[in-house]
A = this chain, B = another copy of it.
Amino acid sequence: MLAMADALAKSETAILEANQRDVSQAEANGTSAALIDRLRLSPDRIAGMVDGLRELAALPDPVGDVVRGWTNANGVRVRQVRVPFGVVGIIYEARPNVTADAAGICLKSGNAALLRGSSSAAESNAAIVEALQAGLVDVGLPADAIQLVPGPREVTNELMAARGLVDVLIPRGGAGLIDNVVRNSQVPVIETGVGNCHLFVDAAADEQMALNIMINAKTQRPSVCNAAETLLVHADIAESFVPKALEALAARGVTVHGDSRVAAFGDVVPADEHDFAEEYLSLDIAMAIVDSLDEALQHIRRYSTGHSETIITDSQTSASRFATEVDAAAVLVNASSRFVDGGEFGFGAEIGISTQKLHARGPMGLHEMTSTKYVVTGSGQIRG
């Protein structure tokens, strides 16, 4: 990991030059400024990638961890041990920093990485992988442990069909990319990231706490999957809370898409079905008033993507019902959904936040990038 970090730092100039070619091409193609910003690297961003690899190096190695173990009455010893998956494919969109990040997490967890990046970042990704491979070779590891998967769109289909050759695919990007991989892959997939996260302000909520958490969850970093996208307010507290919420959101430049009951309290964009299903990833929030906890649960059941769902309440009963009945990777009581994050959870590294129920659910650190194997040791025991 340290050799990879060093090699990456040494290649700064080559990477920036390659990135400039990608950016120029994107500009010539009329790509939006937002996408070009995601594509563009700088000495600072490269330093961030280098630091990320050094931090990974310092984390404990998950491979070989004994998850559990026991000795049977007949003396047979059983240990369940963490092992790498083998070959991990990552399919991702523009940001070239994902290339170093994903390669580092795969290698640290003992896996070979097949990196299928966006064609718009092809030159940047190639320069980054070339540097990482040089680092591997420096310490006597095979360069092919980290590989870029180049080529036209059909190559992604080949990757998704490579059952038995690729052990797991992890799509990272927008809902369309993830949905395509999830639906069409014969290789097992870990689904990450889409977060239509709800914040429910219960009748028994502390209003100031609700306002603080609402602003934090919506505006601290609106473009990420654990940001709040819908605010549900209990009718019993609406008259007092909704005007304050509208004011606080307006002060932070947040556009509110409100249902007709919210509209009675102020000037909002009328919300339709689509708004409640939307993961805005921007300074927009959908808002509705509900008559009960049950109605809030029903709304969440209908629109949730199963990422992170929050209740603000002082009621033990409401908190307990919400935590039990909401079906999501994370449920939060009186805390910001922005805490649902590998770094905040102390995992030290994160490949994404799984919204599926199999294998891993929630922030995925190094442990979640491994499988296990049972090692059974005896002295000649047979089954009776």
A interface, CB within 8 angstroms of B = 70, 72, 76, 78, 80, 83, 85-86, 163, 167-168, 182-183, 186, 188, 190, 206, 209, 212-213, 215-217, 220, 319, 323, 327-336, 338-340, 344-346, 356-359, 361-362, 371-383
Task: Tell whether, in the assembled complex, residue B373 and residue A330 are in contact, meaning their CB atoms are under 8 Å apart.
Answer: yes
| 26 contacting pairs across A/B (C-beta < 8 A) | A72-B346, A76-B339, A83-B327, A182-B186, A209-B379, A212-B380, A220-B382, A327-B373, A329-B374, A330-B376, A332-B378, A333-B378, A334-B378, A334-B380, A335-B378, A338-B382, A338-B383, A339-B376, A339-B381, A340-B374, A358-B358, A358-B371, A361-B371, A361-B372, A361-B374, A362-B374
A358 touches B168 (CB 8 A): yes
Q: Once bound together, how far apart are the Cα atoms of A372 and B330, in whole Å? A: 9
Q: Say yes or no: A335-B381 contact (C-beta < 8 A), given A323-B375, A340-B376.
A: yes
Of B182, B186, B212, B331, which is within 8 A of A374 by CB? B331
Q: Say whether A335 contacts B372, CB under 8 Å.
A: no
A305 to chain B, nearest CB (A): 11
Q: How far is the CA of A319 from the CA of B212 in the complex (A)?
A: 58
Set B167, B344, B383: member contacting A344, Cβ < 8 A: B383
Copies of this chain present in the complex amount to 2
Question: 7 tightest CB-CB pairs across the interface, nearest first?
Answer: A335-B378, A216-B382, A357-B371, A338-B383, A209-B380, A359-B359, A330-B374
Report the Cα distance A53→B376, complex, angstroms.
29
Chain B residues, Cβ within 8 Å of A330: 373-376
Q: Shortest Cβ distance from A163 into chain B, in angstroms?
A: 8
CA separation between A183 and B184, bound complex, in Å?
Answer: 10
Seed contacts A331-B375, A333-B375; 19 additional CB < 8 Å A-B pairs: A78-B345, A80-B362, A85-B357, A168-B358, A212-B382, A215-B382, A220-B383, A331-B373, A331-B376, A332-B377, A334-B380, A335-B376, A335-B380, A336-B381, A336-B383, A344-B383, A358-B358, A359-B359, A361-B373
Cross-chain contact of A332 among B338, B361, B376 (Cβ < 8 A): B376
